[in-house]
Structure 1
């Protein structure tokens, strides 16, 4: 089945080819990523790359597709999230749950409100989660990801929600064979599930390839792999909100808002455990990439609107 999908490029490739990395939306499953711009990323142990404060030279344009005015996020925990490795754990899952429960209405996600005429509220609803082991093994294909989402919906484990955004989050012993860790850290797309169009995505535990899919080796919440996942989740969440069907807000080369600001973090601060963070959501500190905000003087990568 032919699908369009959009992926978050890995950090190591971004460092080689450009800091504000983006990938043009592939036309079909397994299409390789291409296209990058920017400068190198900071090395581990140094402050994460702040990024340029200048207006974007490749601005986003609305191509007339839909947006998700208030996405409802559902999580499918795939693999073994009860391991003794310090990352695939219940406390790691809680970091993600807390992120989804606090991101909506935050100064960061209210950036989405600045997209002209979109009607995006800046709110996010967390709709719940389900857990599966390894029904498709520990090496997944893009098609497997859609099947995992379909199984969760048709099996009654998650609601069949036309406004939903379904994320398959894998433990660190699971690979996504189309390029996780080597070409991308996560992706979002859409496809027909249970007879209607559904939006969904994949993000793997960054601990599988910490130097490729996380900006630092120590996370502000004490779990570098899951803390790294959260920034990728933010990237895919903001892209799926503004461009859920790969047909709305993007540049002429196909880059979405998350791509234009990828691996740049603005002003950061040190947390008690020596990790860098750039925002507090609820009671937690997070290091989350910037997003494109619209202002009267142009479009900018920023942490607030």
Structure 2
């Protein structure tokens, strides 16, 4: 079964009467969608889950470090004081009755574009099997570089997740593409202004890379929905998942076209709401807090 970040009607961006209460949200911005992982009758993310990474295309060492440090930060508190990636991830513990731990697994660099620079869904599936991760506690993230086009990127999705509970080993994968040169107005928001609708000036990316910082937002959403919504048990309002339900909300006071009150680095002017390992800063989406009954932001 495949679940994708899909465009919601852009009409909501132009609406003058929008309901944005925490308990009953009627706003659906671009790239919301359902992402659910199922493996037999067990929960996927209950203990240590290895996240394998296939880097397809050319990523600089710094770009890879930004993403790997984010994954490492999910379960490791940052040294500095303030809201952290780990405290953001801790919200997932309120679903499915326990802690969720994701660790960095195997990594594979494919800088020679073995399937070319224009990929379709079968290519993503083939790439997901390159590391032979498999197993009920293993996921593969296929990450494509900014010069790689992928079927549906920009027109329908920024990332996707596919799970095969009936396949050998129950292999599952997520895909996220770097949209910096293709459609940053859709997939790298709020670091780029959208094409239409109400919007405030774009924020400065916390790691100085609009494409990769945008990828972090979508990867975070995919992983949070994976941990909280196995078998759609964590659906909010019937058909939305905890991270997708709170799309485009990053700080308190957020509304369509405005990311909310976030922290700003005094030196670089970059916006962030979470501290990670190695001194990293990230901007992460709000998560639906099932106990508080609201979209919970870090700041």
TM-score range, shorter chain: 0.7 to 0.9
For the Cα contact (< 8 Å) 1:102–1:281, is it kept in 2? Answer: yes
Give me the whole-angstrom Cα distance separating, in 2, the residues matched to 1:65 and 1:56.
31
Distance 1:258 1:202 in 2: 16
The number of equivalent residue pairs is: 252
Structure 1 counterpart of 2:45: 68
Shift of 1:124: 1.9
List aligned pairs for 1:66-215, cutoff 5 A: 66-70=43-47, 71-81=49-59, 89-104=60-75, 106-115=86-95, 118-132=96-110, 133-153=112-132, 159-177=133-151, 179-191=152-164, 195-207=168-180, 208-214=182-188, 215=190
Superposed CA deviations along residues 110-141 of structure 1, whole A, max 9, x for unmatched, are: 001112xx133143211131112322221111
State the 1:65 CA deviation.
7.4
Q: Does structure 2 retain, via aligned residues, the 8 Å contact 1:56–1:299?
A: no
Q: Aligned equivalents of 2:12 and 2:64: distance in 1?
A: 31
Structure 1 residue 252, shift from structure 2 partner: 5.9
Residue 222 of structure 1 is matched in structure 2 by 208
What TM-score comes out, normalization by structure 2 length?
0.74
Compute the displacement of 1:304 (Å). Answer: 5.0
The CA distance in 1 between the partners of 2:234 and 2:163, in whole Å, is: 15
SS in 1 for 2:243: helix
User: Once the 2 structures are TM-superposed, how far is the Cα of residue 231 of structure 1 from its aligned partner?
Assistant: 0.7
The answer to whether the 8 Å contact 2:67/2:216 transfers is yes
**Structure 1 unaligned regions, length at least 5:** 20-36, 41-50, 82-88, 154-158
Cα deviation for residue 287 of structure 1 reads 0.9
**Is the alpha carbon distance of 1:176 and 1:54 closer, same or farther for their aligned partners in structure 2, counting shifts above 3 Å?**
same
Higher strand share: 1
Shift of 1:146: 1.1
Give the alignment's TM-score, normalised by structure 1.
Answer: 0.73
- Structure 1 residues 127 and 151: CA distance shift in structure 2, 3 A: closer
SS in structure 1 of the partner of residue 105 of structure 2 = strand
Are residue 241 (structure 1) and residue 241 (structure 2) matched? no
Runs of 4+ residues deviating >6 angstroms: 37-40, 62-65
2:246 to 261, 276, 293: 261
In the alignment, is the contact (CA less than 8 A) between 1:109 and 1:123 conserved in 2? no
CA RMSD of aligned residues (A): 3.1
